[in-house]
Structure 1
Amino acid sequence: MHDYDDTDARILRVLQAAGRISNAELSEKVNLSASACHRRVQRLESTGIIRDYVAMVDARKVGRPTTVFVEITLSGQADEVLDAFEREVALIPDVLECHLMAGSADYLLKVVAQDTEDFARIHRRSLARLPGVAQMQSSFALRTVFKTTALPV
């Protein structure tokens, strides 16, 4: 169940591909008047369906071409252990994503680094010091085959 219709979905698809598009261009692409389009976008923003607008930065061009997925198993499952881990991991700027998982690992992190030496530094200075960590397994991405931020709406 969602709080948007097919016209809203068209707007969302366009904005996910081109977030800086003008309202006039957007209204033309989705076949709406500019005022109706503007009202719909405002409603999508106010209801939180559109959370924010960001610039997508090329990791290679800013010196962070290495992506590492880190599986973390904690020493316990108590709420205070999970809360402490989640508070601390959110403070590490090299960690782009942190997911609580079902399965063998408790968390899956997506980490960016300059290279393997830089990841070793991140691992030693940040990841290994996270509270409650019992085990870590790191997997280096060799190549990104496909990546999108666009949700299928």
Structure 2
Amino acid sequence: MTAPQRARSAQPALDRVDRRILDHLADHGRSSIADLAEAVSISASSAQRRLRRLESEEVVRGYRAVLDPIAVDRGLVVHLAVTLVDHTTNTVGRFERHVLDLAGLVSCHHVTGDVDYLMRVDVADVEALDVLLRRTLARLPGVARLTTMVATSAVVDRVTQV
């Protein structure tokens, strides 16, 4: 059995009520137990018990504050497609180690297809993007090509929108 298969088989069984709780929490993470219970039509004690179980099983991994991106100098959303020079363990490992500390990094996914990584980096403005591209990303080990896409609007953004 592969690691992903083991991980899937170890996942807790979620019933319809659990899924309604999770859907509610995804949009209302600061709900009180009473509000959560009302939203999913169960008793407060049941909601509290289920929520504690979901937290202990790490289905609910934590709660975060949604920050105003402009206020924290992260108003420009940039998506980057990264192609590496090769796929050796050394090149991939060096790239991944360096990208972990990248300021403004929201996500980095290793993907299939014509590029190797898709990244989301939020920066203050175009000038900050220029610094990021010229002084940081262009110097990352093993990078052959960067394709930059600047978001002009957000249709759905569950990271920064309330």
TM-score, normalisation: structure 2: 0.85
Q: 1:129 aligns with which of 133, 139, 142?
A: 139
The answer to whether structure 1 residue 23 and structure 2 residue 26 are counterparts is no
Tell me how far apart the structure 1 counterparts of residues 121 and 46 of structure 2 sit (CA, whole Å). Answer: 41
The answer to whether structure 1 residue 7 and structure 2 residue 17 are counterparts is yes
The answer to whether structure 1 residue 138 and structure 2 residue 148 are counterparts is yes
Pairwise CA distance, 1:148: 2.5
Q: Partner amino acid for 2:120?
A: K
Tell me how far apart the structure 1 counterparts of residues 136 and 58 of structure 2 sit (CA, whole Å). Answer: 33
Pairwise CA distance, 1:80: 2.3
Q: Partner amino acid for 1:107?
A: Y
Deviations 1:123-147 (A, max 9, x none): 1222112111111111111122222
TM-score, normalisation: structure 1: 0.90
Quote the residue 1:110 is aligned against: 120
The answer to whether structure 1 residue 62 and structure 2 residue 72 are counterparts is yes
Deviations 1:61-80 (A, max 9, x none): 33321111111110111122
Quote the residue 2:60 is aligned against: 50
Number of equivalenced pairs: 149
Q: Which aligned runs of 4 or more in structure 1 are off by greater than 3 angstroms?
A: none
Q: 1:92 aligns with which of 98, 102, 114?
A: 102
Question: Larger relative contact order (C-alpha < 8 A, sep ≥ 6)?
Answer: 1
